[in-house]
Each structure stands twice: as structure tokens, then as C-alpha cells.
Structure 1
Amino acid sequence: MAQLFLKQAKQYALTRPVYPPELFQFIASKTVTHGLAWDVGTGSGQAARSLAEIYRQVVATDTSPTQLEQAPRLPNVRYEVTSPVMSWAELEQKVAPESSLDLVTIAQALHWLDRPTFYQQVKWALKKPNGVVAAWCYTLPEIDGTVDPVFRAYYADSGPFWDPARRLVEDEYRSIEFPFEPVEGVEGTGPVRFVTHQAMSLDEFFTYMRSSSAYQTAKERGVELLDGEMAGRFERAWNERGEGPKTVKFPVYLRIGRVGIGN
């Protein structure tokens, strides 16, 4: 999985959506204490930065050192490069000892993981009872009625170049297994919907599109998804209602649960 994002790490860091504060406030409201959080698959640290404002300590892990180079350096965040599937010894050494975590978060990465093994390790590391695990994904951006049909056509063209795991994101994590107990105030384990808003110019939106793994895979196979014709369609649609930056909305879908005494 890490190899998909190595070549565009800087683009990915610049254009990956910033998750809404309401998301983190909601998650934090479900943890009894705010001592130690683990951000899994942190990438360039977007979620870790927000967690660091709430939790005293954050350990943020990723399999890609190139991605971690783009992450913000903060006094209460510790970054660790880990194996794709961590051993129990590596978990304890690089992350935390048993029953010590208040929270585990996975932003836009749960679909890449060996989930059965990961879930066992999460249950081992979270405090019992009521340690919280929160995983979320964002789906297709929404701009306006002129640009959105062009993006959907582009996305359809990119379909053959996505990893099959992408289907779990398209399904808003609804079908993903999530063997945890509901947190207080949430029916089941979600998904709970949030929306993040980001102002982007057309060039920034193009950079976001080029940072995707599908775009890079297509390029390696000799296919230019954002060729002159497609870029022209975007430019005409983007400028139809006025040039300049636009507000891009990214729907975010959260699965959230807790461990009980019996887990």
C-alpha cells in the first residue's frame, strides 16, 4: 500500500482534505480521558495534527518514511515507521503497551489494512473498558452542478486504475467489518456523516486529482487521465460561474466503536 503514495507524497500532503474540527470534537467526546492516541496510517499527519490539540500525547505511524517526512513536527507527536503488518513486539515497542491507549484513529486507511490482525492489536492496546477506535474515509468531492458532472466522468475513466480496496471507500465504509461495541449516543457503529470544506483553485484541484493512486497507476501504464481534452472540460466548467477558487466539499464517513471488558 505504501508504494502507491511514494511518488506523490508532497502533492498528497498539500491537497489531501483537512478534516473538520467537528469530527475530532465528536470523537474526543466519546473517550473518557485524553491521554494517549494512536493515529494509524498517518501519511503526512493531517489527523495527527488535530489530535495533538486534544490529546496529551499522540503516536502516529505509517509504513512510508517518505510520507512521514511531510508531516508536521509537533512537541507531543511521535512518528514511527512500522511494518505493513506489525508484530506484537513491534506494537508494544513502537506504539504502546497493553491497555494504555485512549483512542485509535485510522483516517482514509482502514481499507488498506490486514483488518483481522489489526483489530486484535487495537483491542489489546486500548484501555478496557471504553477505549475508542475511530476510522473514517472521505468520498468524491462536490463543487457545483457544472463541475461535478465533469468530475464524475473523469472518475469513471479512472475506475480501472483504482485498487479493488477502493470499493470500500465508495461504499462509505458501510460494508467494512468493524467488530466493536457502540459508543454512547450512536446507534450501532455508524457510519456518521461529516462534511469538510476546502477552498481550492483549479490548479490546486488538478494537483489533488494528480495525487491519487489511480492517476499515478494510469500514468505508469501510459494513460493520461487528465489530458488536454479533459483538462479543457474542467476549465470551461470551473469558470462558467466565475473564475477563481471554489469551495470543494468532501463528505466524510466515520465508523466509531469501543472495546468492552470482554474484548
Structure 2
Amino acid sequence: MAGVFDKNSKQYAQRRPRYPKEWFSMLASLTPEHKVAWDAGTSTGQAALSVVEHYDQVIATDVSKTQIEHAAQHPKVCYLHTPIATTEDELVNMLGGDNSIDLIISATAVHWFDLPFFYSFANRVLKKPHGIIAVWTYSYDVRDLEKSMKMVREAVLPYSDPKTYYLLERYKKLPFPFETVGHGSEGSPIELDMEIEASLHEFVESFKTGSPFIEAKGNRILSSRLNDC
């Protein structure tokens, strides 16, 4: 996965949408302490830069060194490259030890993870009993472009990694073995509107940062369909 997003990290940082500030305020309200948050799979730091408004420190990790190099800097965000070879104990030490994290977030990234390992590890580093883990994704629902979007989705489908299955299903089938705190649960994620104003060009450029498009970048049919939307 890291290799896929290494190819367009600069564009990813520029084009991926920001999440609503209200979302992070809600998450912060769920943890009694606000010392450390961990952004797992931070990519270029979109979520880290928002959640840091509520915590003393955010540790933002990613397997892609190139993505982190393009992340916007913040004095309270510590970006760490965590290659696949990073051991569990090494990662625990990076995060401050067992029972050390108030909030774990993963923004449009958890579907890439080894889920059993990640969930077991999350239970290890979350503070007991009040640590919170939240994962989420988003999808493109564009008014007046339903037909074009369907055509593009069909075009990129052959280039989609199997791990994106959970994303395509909007995390409705994502395993999530944690007790609900009233904001979604396994099989029943909450759905929220995230309205973004963008020109058609900006939307297309954002869509191009997706992994299927990156894999199919040299395919003339796909490029033509995107340009015709």
C-alpha cells in the first residue's frame, strides 16, 4: 500500500478533503483526558492537524515515508515513519508504552491494515478504561453527476485492491470488535454529511489520488472517462 501512495504524495496532500472540525470536537468530548492521540495511517496528516486542536500531542504514523514528508508540520504533531518491519514492541515504545493513548483515530486508512493485529495492538496501548478508538471513511456523492460517477467507478474497479472492499461498502462490513459509545458500531456505522464546495477540476484531481486511479494511471480509457465527467 505504501508504494501506491508514494507515487503522488504531493497531490494527495493538496487534494484530499479536510474533515469537519465538529467531528473532532465530538471525538475529544468522549475522552476524559486529552494528553495523547494517535493517528494511525496519517498519510499527509489531514486528520492529525485537526485532532491536535484538542490534545497536548498527536503521534501520527504511516508506513509511507514519502507521505509523511509531504505532511503539513505542527509543533504538537510528531510524525513517525513506521515501515512494515516495525515490531510491536518498537511501535509501543514510539507511542509511549502500554495504556498510554487517550484517542486512536484512523481516517480512511484502517481498511489497509492487518485488522486482527491492529485491533489487538489498539487494546494494548489505549488507556483503560476510558480510551477511545474511532475509524471512518468517506465516499464521493456528487449531485448531478451520478451517471458519470457510476461510469468512473466501473472503470476503476478492475484496478481496485481487494483491501478497498470495506471502503467501497462504506465500512458497513468492516470488523470492529469494540463496545459502542453511541456513535456507530460494527455493522452499523453512523453516516454523516460532509459537504465540500469544489470546482469540477478540483473534484477530478481529488478523485485521481485514489489507489485504483494511481494503479491505472496509464490506462487511456480511464483517463478519458475522468476527463469527460
Question: Structure 2 length normalisation: TM-score?
Answer: 0.93
- CA deviation profile, 1:100-148 (whole Å, cap 9, x unmatched): 1101101111110011111111111010102000000112x12222x22
Aligned to 2:66: 66
SS in 2 for 1:193: coil
The sequence identity of aligned pairs, in percent, is 37
Shift of 1:186: 4.0
Displacement over 3 Å in runs of 4+:
185-190
User: Structure 1, residues 71-121: CA drift from partner, whole Å, max 9, x if none?
Assistant: 111111100000236422211222221101101101111110011111111
Matched, 1:226 2:208: no
Q: Secondary structure at the match of 1:79?
A: strand
Q: Residue 193 of structure 2: SS of its match in structure 1?
A: strand
Instruction: Check conservation: 2:64, 2:83, Cα contact below 8 A.
Output: no
Per the TM alignment, residue 60 of structure 1 is displaced from its structure 2 partner at its CA by 0.2
Amino acid at match of 2:172: R
Q: Supply the distance in 2 between the matched residues of 1:148 and 1:28 (Cα, whole angstroms).
A: 35
| In 2: Cα distance, 1:230 partner to 1:117 partner | 37
What are the equivalent positions in structure 2 for 1:161-180 lying under 5 Å apart? 161-180=159-178
Contact 1:17 1:196 in 2 (8 A): no
Could you say if the C-alpha distance between residues 108 and 186 of structure 1 is closer, same or farther in structure 2, counting changes exceeding 3 Å?
Answer: closer
Q: Is the 8 A contact 2:58 2:78 kept in 1?
A: yes
Q: Which ranges of structure 1 fall in alignment gaps of 5 or more residues?
A: 235-263
Instruction: State the distance in 1 between where 2:96 and 2:63 align.
Output: 17
Report 1:1-80 matches (<5 A): 1-80=1-80
- Structure 2 stretches of 5 or more lacking a match? none
Q: CA deviation at 1:68?
A: 0.6
- Larger RCO, structure (CA 8 Å, separation 6 or more): 1
SS of the aligned residue for 1:130 comes to coil
More strand by proportion, 1 or 2?
A: 1
Superposed CA offset, 1:41-69 (max 9, x none): 00000000001101111000001111011
CA contact (8 A) 2:204 2:226 kept: no
Q: Return closer, same or farther for 1:223/1:96 CA change in 2, 3 Å cut-off.
A: farther
Output the amino acid matched with 1:206. V
C-alpha distance in structure 1 between counterparts of 2:85 and 2:178, whole Å: 20
> How is 1:230-245 mapped onto 2 (pairs within 5 angstroms)?
231-232=227-228, 234=229
Q: What letter corresponds to residue 117 of structure 2 in structure 1?
A: T
Distance 1:135 1:38 in 2: 12
CA deviations 1:149-172 (Å, max 9, x no partner) are 212211111111110111101211
| Cα RMSD after superposing both structures | 1.7
Please name the residue that 1:213 is paired with: 211
Quote the Cα distance in structure 2 between the aligned partners of 1:87 and 1:115: 16
TM-aligned CA deviation for residue 193 of structure 1: 1.5
Q: Is the 8 A contact 1:37 1:55 kept in 2?
A: yes
Q: Deviations over 1:206-237 (max 9, x none)?
A: 211222211121125x444121x6523x2xxx
> How many pairs were matched up?
228
Which has more radius of gyration? Answer: 1
Partner Cα separation in structure 1 for residue 99 and residue 37 of structure 2: 12
| Cα-to-partner distance string for 1:162-205 (whole Å, 9 max, x where unaligned) | 1011110121112111111121x346454112222222122212
Please give the alpha-carbon distance, in whole angstroms, between the structure 1 residues aligned to 2:71 and 2:21: 18
